[in-house]
């Protein structure tokens, strides 16, 4: 298997690429929406949203809470029974 070559892709230099300047803020807003509506999303998506919040939020309390929620979901997912007997 050959490695994928590294290309420094710049949104402004790639024709037809759409990369708004405020994309981190948009991802943060989207992640907050996913966490707020957690009942309708799978745990794996919530963990990803929590990681996005922890990476992009300017509020340290929100970052800690997002990481705590992600850790809790990961811990619970490991405790779920994976089938089998009684």
Contact 77, 46 (CB under 8 A): no
Residues found in the chain: 86
Q: For residue 48, what are the domain limits?
A: 23-78
Q: Please state the domain count of the chain.
A: 1
What is the C-alpha to C-alpha distance for residues 10 and 14, in angstroms, rounded to an integer?
6
Report which of residues 2 and 50 the model is more confident about: 50
Residue 13 covered by a domain: no
6 in a domain, yes or no? no
Q: Which of 46, 36, 52, 45 is nearest to 69 (CA)?
A: 46
pTM (predicted TM-score): 0.69
Q: Give per-residue pLDDT as tens, 13-69.
A: 555 566 677 888 999 999 999 999 999 999 999 999 999 999 999 999 999 999 999
């Amino acid at each position: 298997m050959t490695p994928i070559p590294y290309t420094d892709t710049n949104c402004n230099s790639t024709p037809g690429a759409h990369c708004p300047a405020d994309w981190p803020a948009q991802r943060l807003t989207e992640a907050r929406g996913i966490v707020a509506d957690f009942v309708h999303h799978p745990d794996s998506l919530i963990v990803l949203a929590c990681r996005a919040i922890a990476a992009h939020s300017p509020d340290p309390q929100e970052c800690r809470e997002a990481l705590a929620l992600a850790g809790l979901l990961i811990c619970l997912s490991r405790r779920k029974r994976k089938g089998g007997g009684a």
